[in-house]
A and B are shown apart, each in its own frame.
Chain A
Amino acid sequence: MTIAVIENPKVSLNILTESEVRQIHHATLDVIESVGVRFPSAKALDILQAHGAAVDHATHVARIPGQAVEAALAKAPPTYALAARDASLDLALDGRHTYLGTDGCGVEVLDAFTGERHRSTLQDVSDAARMADYLDAIAFHWTPVSAQDRPPESRSLHELLAIWNVSQKHVQTETIVTEREARAAVEMAAAIAGGRDELRKRPILSIMQCTLAPLAQDGGSIEAGLAAAEAGLPVGYMTMASCASTGPATLAGNLVVGNAEVISALALMQMAYPGCPVYYAAAQTAMDLRTGAYTGGGPEDFLFGAATNVLADFYRVPLSMGAFATGAKEPGWQSAVDNSFSSFMAVSTGADMLLGAGLLHGSRILSYEMLVMDAEIWSIVRAMSRGIVVNHETLALDAIRDVGPGGNFLAHKHTKRHMRELWLPTLMDRRPYSAWEEKRDGAREWAREKAQAILRDHHPEPLDEKLVNALRHIIASVEAEAM
């Protein structure tokens, strides 16, 4: 099994100048220091206060001095690795690699065989993870859909176990939102990794939390993040500030609001556990002006996808960036436009992790067809990221001399040497028109067939039964505690 990583992309994009990044940074520090960010957690407020923040315990708003934020962020490790259960699938977050993960957390699934839509269950989590395990485009898992047939207090842990049970790839979960769940997840991960120390060395699990735009955190998410950071699991905070509703209408203003949420949370992690691995996460968008909806696609999203990476680079932390995750209701023109632009923009600025493969309707509906199509978009972006190699061999002067005016390169040795570097589609229709006319099929049908074949045939070796029982025991204790 291999992972289709994007390495040292040659294509690059200038999205913000150094001076513009500094302006955003200074505006952000101004906001954090003078307006403040709400942290509804006594534990978090105590830590912030001990580091110089002015804390209002009634409103939970902390006004943190800019210097304290900068000093804390400077302690974050700039590079580290996300471990996989199979070490050959480890992910290097070193600023030179970009990896794709699945999307989350959906609430419905389009059945791969019947096309019918149903509410998501634990079985769907397992099936989607199996498909993500098979696809080399997918480097790590998110919890793709919610296991709505499991109790809310332990649901995230059932989901985690279901993914681990079918895949050795790294798991980044976005559904653990309480300290109790986070502590149990650490315990589960340690059981798999072979103890707490091993887990710290090789974190097979990373944690993603959402902020609450504008300028607030969720208490549970903050305390879950602290528990994970204590154990050495990489922790990221994601802003989803939306232009004109949860953020200013202007893109720069929206970046400031989102940035304040993310870096204040990351700074808190560093104040609590200096040097712990953290990452920046973002999926900003623009509100739909007519409905107020979170759009999931459109030029603003694509610009945010590129700009946010410049900010993460400025703070010298990895970025997990929301890309793909189209607002389209079914795979088609809109999803192709959304997911191509969003992934390309994020890759061309060197994001470390991209999220969002496989879901429709703004991350609400899982589509196996979409997941297969997203993998193909990824392969296009990956091919583009390599750019154009210019050297003696690629300039092909000898071949050009041999062929001369009016000939062709079909049978030349140079062609034989290099033709397999050219990109080959699996879903693009390049057949003759008459061949298409016979069945009038295309990407959707082929993606569906591939998805069905994967679900039928790909059955990775499950975890050891004893280990599974131990993990189930941990989940059961969380459920008992919640009663």
Chain B
Amino acid sequence: MSAEDLFRVMSQSIVEGEPEEAERLAREALAQGIEPLEAINHGFVPGVTEVGRGFGCGEMFLPDLVRAGAAMKAAIKVLEPELVRRGMTRESLGTVVIGTAKGDIHEIGKNLIGTMLAASGFQVHDLGVDVSPAAFVAQAREVNADIVGVSALLTTTMLGQREVIRALEQAGLRPHVKVLVGGAPVTRDWAEEIGADGYSEDALGAVRVAKQLLKIAQV
């Protein structure tokens, strides 16, 4: 298969959301001696762009985005070590630490946002559920986070979002770390009251807000 043909099927594996196929094609590209960065930028990224276009005009839906994100992740997993071996890194839009507030184990919204942010080019560190403010702080410090995202589904655990902001302030990290909050009971007013930097009702909105906060141009 020519490189052009290979790039075309790589893109297709993202559009169709087939992680195993994407992984196989990534290996094939390396076997053919294609540079990993070229495989990403000319093979897989056009697929992501196509999915974004399809979603934007209503031909594709959220599950398509999530599947595309999973396929991209599978391809990157193969290509990234090769990049590193060559002393190169894939450009990241920013580093994000996410988790659900202390006492809250509802994670689907948070997971969705993690997938969307990663698929959009952010480096995502997911702390999982029931995360203490101290754990958010520790991780944010360790990975030098640009953004911390705290999710809560309950009116009671929502208060934990404020605690995370306070803990970041106390740790002296607040000037460098933007805080994103979300979850069913969370409103714009609440986000403003607790001093969060960003708020979104859905996962795609969260990506937009994250880009705005880091002053990244929107595509």
Contacts and interface: CB of A to CB of B under 8 A. Distances in A.
Nearest to A152: B156
Given A107-B187, A155-B156, A291 B108 contact: no
A23 B211 CA distance: 48
Interface stretch (B40-48, B90-98, B198-206): B198-206
Interface of A: 40, 105, 107-108, 119, 146, 148, 152-153, 155, 175, 177, 212, 218, 244-246, 249, 287, 289-294, 362, 364
21 contacts: A105-B155, A107-B155, A107-B185, A108-B187, A146-B155, A148-B155, A152-B155, A152-B156, A152-B157, A152-B159, A212-B106, A244-B62, A245-B112, A246-B108, A249-B63, A290-B58, A291-B62, A291-B203, A292-B109, A293-B202, A362-B184
A292 B187 contact: no
A175 B154 CA distance: 9
Given A291-B204, A364-B184, 4 more contacts: A152-B156, A249-B63, A287-B62, A292-B202
A290 B190 contact: no
Given A291-B202, A293-B202, A364 B185 contact: yes
* Nearest 7 Cβ contacts at the A-B interface: A152-B156, A289-B61, A146-B155, A291-B202, A107-B185, A292-B62, A292-B112
Contacts of B109: 292
A155 B157 CA distance: 12
A245 B159 CA distance: 26
Contacts of B156: 152-153, 155, 177
Provide the main secondary structure of the chain B interface. loop
Q: How large is the interface on B (under 10, 10 to 19, 20 to 34, 35 or more residues)?
A: 20 to 34
A91 B127 CA distance: 46
Contacts of B63: 244, 249, 289
Contacts of B61: 289-290
A290 B105 contact: no
Interface string B184-219: 110101100000000001111000000000000000
B108 A290 contact: no
B131 to A, nearest CB: 16
Contacts of B184: 294, 362, 364
Contact of A146 (B62, B185, B201, B204): B185
